[in-house]
Amino acid sequence: MSVMRKMRKAGTNRVFYIILTILISIGLVGGYAAFSTSSLNSQTPTGTQGTLAPSGPDQTSLETNIRRYKQVLKASPRNLEVLVDLGNAQYDLGVTYSQQGREADAVRELKGAVESYGKALEIDPQNVDVRVDMATAAFYASDYQVAQEQFKKAIEINPNHVYGRMNYGVFLAQAVGDSEAAVHQWEAALATKPDPGTEARIRNLIKEYKK
């Protein structure tokens, strides 16, 4: 499964694993200042169940689903479920385009995902998972202002959202270059008492970045 694709869904633990893998692969070695979609193409991350098996809809299915979701939304523009589904499909299509080297198309779809998630949040502003997904998509689209705003808002709503804390920390370390603030977020994530595997990964991040 693609690194970026796994990052998307905060509710299914994808967000943290994608960013963590990137950190291990490039961030901790070369001091990479910020992520770009092209930097993610060569990674081989471990999935949430510890496998590397590819999964997720193919490009044709994603493009078809996006058209269908948009048609539904023409008749029912405030359909929360479809808005989230559209954002997810746009994110995944952006990942697919990035893997093909179609960076302009990838960024376009990621920005579309940000827009769709934003509309969903207008309906359900307390949905932290969607807000973290929006921040993540903005992060990859290099819209760091939106990413920062949404990560901060997500944590304001739910200070114990472990994946929000973890990914905000990676954003701070990689996009902002603030290791101290990143470590603060990871320590806050540890305070939520995550599962042992997640705890070990957070501690590894802290070890690498704590001064």
Of 46-50, 91-95, 140-144, least confident by mean pLDDT is 46-50
- pLDDT the model gives residue 210: 85
Task: Using alpha carbons, list the distances in angstroms from residue 4 to 21, 71, 79, 172.
Answer: 10, 26, 26, 18
Q: Please report which confidence band the pLDDT of residue 4 belongs to, taking 50, 70 and 90 as the band edges.
A: low
The tens digit of pLDDT for each residue in 24-44 reads 443 332 222 233 333 333 322
d(C-alpha 176, C-alpha 90), whole Å: 26
The parent domain of residue 59 ranges over 3-209
Give the CATH number, domain containing residue 35: 1.25.40.10
pLDDT band for position 15 (50/70/90)?
Answer: very low
- Structure tokens, 170: 């990676």
Instruction: Please tell me the distance from the alpha carbon of residue 93 to that of residue 75, in angstroms, as a whole number.
Output: 23
| CA-to-CA dists, residue 64 to 68, 86, 90, 130, angstroms | 6, 11, 11, 22
How many domains would you assign to the chain? 1
- pLDDT digits 0-9 by tens, 58-109: 999 999 999 999 999 999 999 999 999 999 999 999 989 988 999 999 999 9
CA atoms of 134 and 205, how far apart (whole Å): 23
Could you say which DSSP state residue 174 is in? Answer: I
List, in sequence order, the alpha helices (H) in 27-102. 28-30, 59-75, 80-99
DSSP state of 150: H
What is the per-residue pLDDT for 105?
97
The yes-or-no verdict on residue 48 having pLDDT over 90 is no
* Poorest-pLDDT segment among 6-15, 75-84, 119-128, 198-207: 6-15
Any idea how long the chain is? 211
pLDDT per residue as tens digits for the range 117-133 = 999 999 999 999 999 99
What pTM did the predictor assign? 0.75
Confidence of residue 16 (pLDDT cuts 50, 70, 90): very low
Give tens-digit pLDDT for 163-185. Answer: 999 999 999 999 999 999 999 99
Written as one string, the DSSP assignment of 92-111 is: HHHHHHHHTT-HHHHHHHHH
Question: Taking a C-beta distance cutoff of 8 angstroms, is the pair 206, 187 a contact?
Answer: yes
Distance separating alpha carbons of residues 172 and 170, to the nearest angstrom: 5
Note the pLDDT of residue 95: 84
